[in-house]
Each structure stands twice: as C-alpha cells, then as structure tokens.
C-alpha cells in the first residue's frame, strides 16, 4: 500500500470510520449515508459496510473499550483481511479524532493484512494486495508515524514469510543469504560462519546438532552499529532450527510438518535487527542466529554422546530433541565473548512445556534482572505481545546433573521443562547480570483466523524493538 495525506473526505471514495465502543457518532454516519443506524455498537473487531450518498463504501469499524487499545491493530487487520476484495484502488481513513498511537495501529493492521501465506502456490492471487492508495485525513503531520508503522509491518511480514517457508527451501544457508541481502539493503553488517569454521573454532554443540543433515549449520552474526565509538548495548541470540525431526529421539509424525517453524526465535532476531536498521534507531545492536537442521542420518549425534561446547563446558546428550538449547549454548557463549553486551536476550521456540503452562497467550520470560522483568512485562502488555515471568530457582540445577559431563541437556522430569531448559541456558551466560530468556514456543506459530492451518505470527519483533527504544530513551 501507499499512503498520502488528504485535506478533505471525498464521498465518492471508500472510507474507514473507526469508533470506540458506545461512542459511535450516529449523526455523522447518517449525514454520510442517509442511514439512521442504531445497531452498530463499536465492539472490538465489529464492522459494518454502508454506502455514502455519493456511492462510496463506508466501512464502520469497532475499536472496543479502552482496555482493547493494545490490540487495536488486530481490528484493522481483521477489517482489511475480510473486506479487501471489496476495496477500490483508493481508500480513505478519517484520522482526525485518532491519537498517534491509534494511527500507528491502523497502518500496522492494514499492512499486516497484506501478508500472503500462499506465496508458493502455482496460481496467482486474484488480487494485487498492495495496489491501494490510502489517503489519511488528519489534523496534524502524521507522515513519520505512518512510515514507522509501515516499516514495522513490512519487516514482520518478511519474517512471517521466513517462518512459513518450507524447510527444503529454508535451509541454514538460506537464512544466511537472507541476512546478507537484508544487511546490504538496510545498512548493517552481516558475517556468516560456515561448517568448517564452526568446527575449527570449537562450536561443538552447533556442529553436533547439524551433523545429521545434508544442509550444514551456520552461525549468522548481524551488527547494526549506530555509534562506532560505543559498546554494544544489546545482543539478541536466536534459535534457528530450520527443521526439527527430533533427531535419533525422533518426534511423532502427526504434527512434525509444523517443525519448519522451529526457527521462530531466529526469525524474531533477524527481523528486529532489520527493523532497527530501517528505523535508524540510536543503538549498538548485535543479532546472532545459530542455524542448523536436526535430521536423522548415520552421522547424527546420539543420546548418551558427550559434546564439548564453545564455552568449554561438556554436555551429556540425554535427548537429541532438546537440540535448540544446544545451539543456543554455543551462540550465547560466543556472543558474550565477542561483543560483551550490556544486555543479552535470547529467543527460542524452545519447549512444549511453556505452551502447557501459558497456552497461546504469552511467552515465558526468565530473568533474574528485575529491570528487564518489569520492562518486558510493561512493554508486552502495552503492545499486546505479552510475556509472563517464570522462576529460575537454584533447586532446578540438580535436574541438569550428569555423572560424566559438566551438565546434561535434558532432565527427563515430567514437569518444569521450560524452567529446566532456561536453567541449562543460564549455565552458559557466565552469570550475566542483564540476561533474559524468552521461550516463545506458544506465540511464534499457531492457529489464527487468517489461515486454515497453523502459521507464523511475527511475534517478538515489536517487543524487541520497543525494548530497544526503552534503552535509548534512558
């Protein structure tokens, strides 16, 4: 879509009017359409289509109550997704009564609705979803708000495309090439370590996980440096398992096809770095992605193996399906050694346990840093990318005891799996005082009204960028 500002509403063209619940301006609707409407309440996501006296369509949209404010972009997305085929090439948005935040949410929702999940179908979509010009009627300058919202949605849609891509396309090298192209387009640095260099430099955990695949692992290192003379403020580390069969500890077949999404954490990191560069945020940022495919082959690592990680710690492999924490262990240790960031955040679709704990409503947050816990909780509620803090009690360290190695990768306990995974990662953070782990297994990929099968949500990008802004505002 393209956007411009307009000075008056053209009644011949389509128009979106949005109202909070029980604050619907029925007189204005009647003036525009001649319809004395009384049934429209403005409930969240409610919409109705009328016609103006001059023939233009009038899309009435409900924004719900004030408590619905963090998710109002979804109301605009729903409207666009369900009515898009009725739009003409020109659309108007009356934003005179809208706050800056609501304008941002409106553009975000309209842009997110343009995502086409069927990008690999042999027949083209019956509509060109981007060939619409939106005229915004506002009482002030809003171009910067519109531009940021559009850039945000574009990065999210690009990352959703990554997560939804099949694993025969989305290999570790594909993620590396995507990063190189993004870096070239948006002005940041990308370095990729390939299998031979990973072996030579001691990334034993990443190499072990990737041994069973014909697609060798990669370590992707993205750097967006705003001030060359300053230290790295924030490092992001993402789990990039492009397909997870479970390895020798193989998964059941029923839903294994969804394991193409096991790089949702990596996708959030890639998207957040790209968006920071697009927005030219005043921050020094590093994003590290450990990309590998966990396949089954004669070369696959096995339960009972002991591997030496990048940190030097040895790990007894109890379950090869607990591979994400292995690649993250190497990536975290490397990131701390190479960049010494003030803040460190890792993201991963790590455990089914966190889904059983929190469902599909929030990501699991693990940190001992109260500032980060408070910040992520506040930001998550504010933008509707919610997190819920879970404990890192010392007692759980015993579950990772190994008789023959420094620790084991899986506890075999039927409970607290998300906590045990977080405690495993903590062992590689060198007690970093500003580290947080986000288990986004229930949030990165799932059911929605925008697809018949499970699909990517784009979760994490807005959360991370909002956290960056909170750092730069200090």
Residue 201 known to be catalytic: no
Question: Please, which contacts does 353-359 make with residues 24 or more away whose CB atoms are closer than 8 Å?
Answer: 353/416, 353/417, 353/418, 353/419, 353/421, 354/390, 354/417, 354/418, 354/439, 354/441, 354/442, 355/441, 355/442, 357/390, 357/418, 358/388, 358/442, 359/442
| Matching residue, tokens 């460190």 | 344
Active site annotation includes 251: yes
- Quickly list DSSP for 173-191: HHHHHHHHHHHHHHT-EEE
Length of the chain measured in residues: 474
Q: Which of 129, 180, 251, 313 is catalytic?
A: 251
Burial class (CB in 10 A: 0-12, 13-18, 19+), 395: exposed
CA distance 412 to 414: 6
- Matching residue, tokens 């204005």: 28
**Number of neighbouring beta carbons within 10 Å of residue 356:** 13
> Around 335, how many Cα atoms within 13 Å sit in the side-chain half-sphere?
34
The catalytic residue among 77, 160, 278, 325 is: 325
**Whole-angstrom distance, CA of residue 364 vs CA of residue 361:** 10
**Token digits for 179?**
């990063």
Least Cα distance to 422 among 222, 239, 232, 291 occurs for 239
- What is the helix (H) or strand (E) element at residue 295, kind and residue range? none
- b/e per residue, 38-76, with b = 16+ CB within 10 A? eebebbbbbbeebebeeebbbbbbbbbeeebbbbbbbbb
Of 239, 260, 258, 244, the C-alpha closest to 166 is: 260
**Environment class of 185 (CB within 10 Å of its CB; exposed 0-12, middle 13-18, buried 19+):** exposed
Which positions ≥6 away from 183 have C-beta within 8 Å? 189, 190, 222
| Integer Cα distance of 375 and 272 in angstroms | 17
Residue 248 structure tokens: 């020798």
Task: Please list the active-site residues.
Answer: 251, 325
């Amino acid at each position: 879509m393209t956007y411009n500002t307009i000075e008056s509403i053209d009644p011949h063209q389509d128009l979106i009017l949005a109202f909070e619940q029980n604050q619907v301006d029925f007189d204005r609707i009647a003036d525009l359409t001649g319809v004395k409407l009384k049934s429209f309440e403005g409930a969240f996501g409610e919409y109705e289509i009328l016609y103006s006296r001059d023939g233009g369509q009038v899309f009435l949209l409900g924004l719900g109550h004030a408590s619905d404010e963090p998710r109002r972009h979804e109301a605009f997305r729903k409207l666009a997704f369900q009515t898009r085929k009725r739009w003409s090439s020109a659309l108007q948005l009356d934003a005179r009564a809208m706050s800056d935040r609501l304008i941002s949410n409106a553009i975000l929702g309209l842009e997110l609705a343009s995502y086409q999940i069927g990008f690999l179908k042999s027949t083209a979509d019956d509509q060109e979803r981007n060939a619409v010009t939106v005229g915004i009627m506002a009482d002030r300058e809003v171009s910067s708000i519109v531009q940021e919202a559009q850039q945000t949605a574009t990065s999210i849609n690009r990352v959703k495309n990554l997560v939804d891509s099949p694993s025969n396309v989305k290999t570790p090298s594909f993620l590396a090439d995507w990063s190189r192209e993004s870096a070239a387009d948006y002005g940041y640095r990308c370095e990729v370590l390939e299998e031979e260099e990973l072996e030579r430099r001691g990334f034993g955990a990443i190499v072990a996980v990737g041994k069973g695949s014909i697609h060798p692992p990669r370590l992707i290192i993205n750097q967006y440096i705003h001030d060359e003379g300053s230290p790295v403020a924030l490092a992001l580390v993402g789990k990039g398992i492009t397909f997870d069969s479970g390895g020798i500890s193989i998964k059941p077949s029923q839903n294994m096809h969804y394991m193409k999404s096991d790089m949702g954490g990596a996708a959030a990191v890639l998207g957040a770095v790209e968006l920071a560069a697009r927005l030219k945020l005043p921050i020094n940022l590093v994003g590290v992605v450990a990309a590998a495919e966990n396949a089954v082959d004669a070369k696959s690592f096995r339960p009972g193996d002991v591997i030496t990680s990048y940190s030097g710690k040895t790990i007894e492999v109890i379950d090869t399906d607990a591979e994400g924490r292995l690649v993250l262990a190497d990536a975290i240790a490397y990131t701390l050694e190479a960049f010494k960031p003030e803040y460190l955040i890792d993201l991963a679709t790590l455990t089914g346990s966190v889904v059983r704990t929190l469902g599909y409503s929030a990501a699991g947050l693990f940190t001992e840093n109260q500032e980060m816990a408070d910040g992520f909780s506040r930001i998550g509620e504010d933008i509707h990318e919610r997190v819920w803090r879970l404990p890192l009690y010392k007692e759980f360290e015993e579950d990772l005891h190994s008789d023959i190695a420094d620790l084991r990768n899986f506890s075999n306990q039927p409970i607290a799996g998300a906590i045990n995974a977080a405690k495993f990662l903590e062992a590689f953070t060198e007690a970093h005082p500003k580290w947080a782990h986000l288990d986004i297994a229930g949030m990165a990929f799932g059911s929605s009204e925008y697809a018949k099968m499970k699909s990517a949500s784009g979760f994490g990008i807005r959360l991370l960028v909002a956290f960056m802004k909170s750092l730069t505002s200090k």
